[in-house]
Structure 1
Amino acid sequence: MHLNTLLLALASTALAKPTPPASARLWATHYNGNVYTLELNGTDLAIKQTLKTCGAMPSWLTLDAKTRTVYCSNEDGTNDPSTHGTLTALRAAPDGRLQEVAVTDTVGGGVNSVIYEADEGKKYLAIAHYEGSAVSTFALPIENNQPALQEFHFNMTHPGKVAQQDSPHPHEVFLDPTGSFIVSPDLGADLLRVYSINGDSGKLDECPSTNVTFGSGPRHGVFWTDGTDRTSEGATHQRKLAAVGKTMLYVVNEIGGTMMVYDVSYSRSGCLSLEKKQTIVPYPKGVMPDGATPAGIKRIGNALYVSVRTDQGYKPNDSMVVLDRSPKDGSVKVRNSSSAFGKVPRTFVINRAGNLVAIGDQASATVAIVLRDRQTGNLGDEVAVLQVGEPGKVGSAEGLSSIIWDE
C-alpha cells in the first residue's frame, strides 16, 4: 500500500474510533442510604460527593435539567398505610454537588419516576410504587410535607403465576412520544396501565389497561416513533393532540424473560391503545439462561438495548444485549451481546451524545462506563469502572440502585 494511502487509512480509523469526553458527571443511588456525585475525566471515574439523603432505600433519580433539581425516590415502605416512602428534592450546584431542599412522604415502595408537563409549562412528577401497589403524582417543585396530587391504589382478585406476583407491582412510569400519556408496566398484575394527562389540572386520567400474557411480569418499556421523536435521556416533550406518524412500544418482561412489541394507536376517545405484534426472547440464540432476567431497556434510532441480570454471560459479569428494529414492520431481532462489566445490571443510561453508556451494576455495586459506536450502535470497550458503596447480595434489595447523567 502507498504510504499516503496507509496514513489516510490509519487516520480514518483513528477518527472513527469512539473516544470518551474530556469530562462528564453522573449521579447514583445506593440502597445504603447514600446518593453519590461521580465525575468522569477521560478514563478516570471518581466519587466527588457522598450525601446521606433520600431515606433508607434511595432507589431512583429523575433530573429536571431546567431547574437543576434532582428528585429522589425512597423505596422504603409497603402498601400498608402505616408505612411510607419519601420523595426528596435535591438542588444540583454547577459542579454537580447536591443539597437537600425538600422532603415529603409518599406511598411506600417508590422505584421509578418521570417528569411530565401540563398546559402553560406546569410540571409534575409521577412515581411507580412497586411494594406500595400504586402510582402517585406530585406538583413540582415539591415543598416539605407536600401532599400528593393523586394516588392510584391497585388490588388483585387472584394471585399471578409466581410468588413475585402476589400483588400489583408497578415498576416504571414513562411518557409516550407526544408527552400526553403515561404508561406503567405492572409486573405483579401483568398489565400495561395507561393514563392520559389532563392539560388543565396536570392530573392523570385512567385509560383502559392492556393485558400482558399471564406470568410475563412487564418491567420496563420504551417507545419508537417516526414522528415526534426522543432518543436521549432528559429530552423535552412537546404536548400534542395526537402522535405524528407511526408509533410502537417495546416492553421487556422480567418473569417471562421476553420482549413484546406493540403497535400504538391514538383513539378519538382520548386514550392510547396497544396491539401486540411480536414476542421474542431478547437473548442470543433465543434462549434466556436459567435464573436470568431482562431488566432495563433503552433505544436510539432503530437500535434497542436490554440489560440482562444474572446470566453470567461474561463471567463473572452479566450481559448487555443489542437488538435491531426492522424499519419495515417494527419487529426486532437480536444483533449481539457484550459484557455489563459487573453483576446484576439493574439500570443503564445512554448519554445525550450517544457515545457512552453508564451501567449501574447492582450486586457488584459498580458503575461501568462503556463506549458506544454512534455509527453502528454497538457497545464497545470499558472506559472506566468504579465501585460505589458496598456490594449487594444477588436477588436482594442491596447494592447500587440507579444511575443518571448530569445533562
Structure 2
Amino acid sequence: MLLSIGAYTEAEMGHASGIGVTRFDPATGVLEPASVTIETPNPSYLARSKDGAFLYAVNELEEGAVTAFARDPETGGLRRLNSQSTGGAHPCYLSLDPTGRFLLVVNYSGGNVAVFPIAGNGTLSPASQILAHEGKSIDPNRQGEPHPHMIAPSPDGRFVYVTDLGIDQIVRYRLDTDTGQLVDPVATSTTPGMGPRHFAFSPDGRTMVAIGELDSTLVSYAVDAEGGLTPISTVSTLPADFAGANSCAHVVVSPDGRFVYGSNRGHDSIVAARLDAGTRALEVVEIVPTGGAEPRNFALDPSGRWLLAANQQSDTIAVFARDPETGRLAPTGNVLESKSPVCLTFAG
C-alpha cells in the first residue's frame, strides 16, 4: 500500500524537498524507506482523486498556490500538470468534492476559501470563486482576523464545511456544481477561544467531531437534515495535570465510527476517545505519546488496524497498532525517518 507524505520545505517550518512516497505493509505495520517523488514548495496538505490518478497539493506560501500532479498508481511517482494561485496567503488544506469536478481550498493567512474546477485530464482551471470570511474572536494573538483551516464535504456530499480558527466558527455551505460557487452559508459559533482547526465525521454523517487548536478540546456535534450543528459533548485532549503549552492539530474518526483520535503538539501525544453512537457523547480512553515532537498530522490505514503519526519537528513517522475493540494504541517500534512530515495520505 502506498503512502504519500506532504512536508514543509521552507527553512522556518521544515527542511524537506517536496512530496515523498513510501510503501506500508498492512499485514506487519512496517514502512519502507521514503523517497522524494517530486520537488514542490511547502506541500503541507495533499488530496488524491477518487481513482488515484491525480494528486493535489497546496503550496503553503505567502503567494499561495495549489498544484496538480498526475500519479503513477503502481509507484506513486508524480508528474506535475499545472498550478493555480489560491488568491490568498498560506493555503493549508484542500479536498475534492464528491463529483471530483472541484477542488476546495482554504487560505489560512488570506482569510478566504477558494474553489477550482478540475478538467478531465486532472488539470486545474483558475478559481471559480474566492470567498472571504469576516470577523474576529477573543484571542488577540491568534484571532484578530479570519483564519480558515479546513474545508471538506459531508459524507453524503450535500454540504461543504469550513472550520475558521480566527473567528470561532464552523461554516456550512452548499456547493453549486453548475457555477462552482459555495452558497447558502450557515455559521455555527464555537466556544469563544476554541480555535476550531479540523473536523471529522462519523461514517453515517450524523456526528461531526471538531478539534480546538487553541483550547485543546474535542467537541462532538449532532448534524441535522439541513447540515446544522448542535454541540453535544466536550472533552479535553490533555491529562488533567498537564500545565505546559499545547496546540491541537488533527482529528480522525475510526472506520467503524466508535472512536475518535486527536493530536497534541506540545504534549506530543494522541488522545483516543470513545464516541457513543446513540448519545454522540465523547469519553477519553487514553492519551499516548507519539514518540516524537509536534505531531501535526496522523492517519489511520484503511483497515483501521494501524495509526501513523507524523512528528514534524523530530523528522519521524511512528506506527501504532490499534485495537478495534478498545480503541487503544500500542507503539510498534516501527519508526520511519522522514524530513518534516506534516500530511499522510494513503493512496492504494
Q: What TM-score, normalized to structure 2?
A: 0.89
Instruction: Give, in whole Å, the separation in 2 of the partners of 1:282 and 1:70.
Output: 32
Alignment of 1:328-367 (within 5 A): 328-367=278-317
2:252 matched to 1:265? no
Q: CA deviation at 1:253?
A: 0.6
- Answer with 379-388 or 355-364: which moved more: 379-388
1:81 is matched with none
Among 114, 122, 134, the residue aligned to 1:155: 134
Instruction: Give, in whole Å, the separation in 1 of the partners of 2:83 and 2:179.
Output: 23
Amino acid at match of 1:147: P
2:115 matched to 1:137? yes
1:310 is matched with 266
- Answer with 129-138 or 323-332: which moved more: 323-332
Q: Greater helix percent: which structure?
A: 1
Alignment of 1:3-402 (within 5 A): 24-32=1-9, 33-40=17-24, 42=28, 43-53=30-40, 55=41, 57-77=42-62, 84-93=63-72, 94-107=74-87, 108-117=89-98, 121=99, 123-141=101-119, 146-156=125-135, 160-224=138-202, 228=204, 247-267=206-226, 272-285=227-240, 289-300=243-254, 301-311=257-267, 318-389=268-339, 399-402=340-343
The alpha-carbon distance between structure 1 residues 174 and 44, as it changes in their structure 2 partners (threshold 3 A), is: closer
1:320-345, Cα deviation, whole Å (9 max, x unpaired):
11101123311101011222121111
The alpha-carbon distance between structure 1 residues 67 and 326, as it changes in their structure 2 partners (threshold 3 A), is: closer
Q: CA deviation at 1:44?
A: 4.7
Q: Give identity over the alignment, percent.
A: 24
Amino acid at match of 2:300: I
1:216-240, Cα deviation, whole Å (9 max, x unpaired):
1111111225xx46xxxxxxxxxxx
Paired residue total: 333
Q: Alpha carbon RMSD of aligned pairs, Å?
A: 2.1
Amino acid at match of 1:114: S
Q: What TM-score, normalized to structure 1?
A: 0.77
Q: CA deviation at 1:124?
A: 0.8
Instruction: Give, in whole Å, the separation in 2 of the partners of 1:147 and 1:320.
Output: 38
Q: CA deviation at 1:254?
A: 0.9
> What secondary structure, in the 3-state scheme, does the structure 2 residue paired with 1:341 have?
coil
Contact 1:349 1:359 in 2 (8 A): yes
- Answer with 171-180 or 272-281: which moved more: 272-281
> What secondary structure, in the 3-state scheme, does the structure 2 residue paired with 1:165 have?
coil
Larger Rg: 1
2:12 is matched with none
Contact 1:216 1:258 in 2 (8 A): yes
The alpha-carbon distance between structure 1 residues 101 and 252, as it changes in their structure 2 partners (threshold 3 A), is: same
> What secondary structure, in the 3-state scheme, does the structure 2 residue paired with 1:173 have?
strand
Contact 2:22 2:34 in 1 (8 A): yes
Contact 1:346 1:362 in 2 (8 A): yes
Instruction: Give, in whole Å, the separation in 2 of the partners of 1:224 and 1:145.
Output: 30
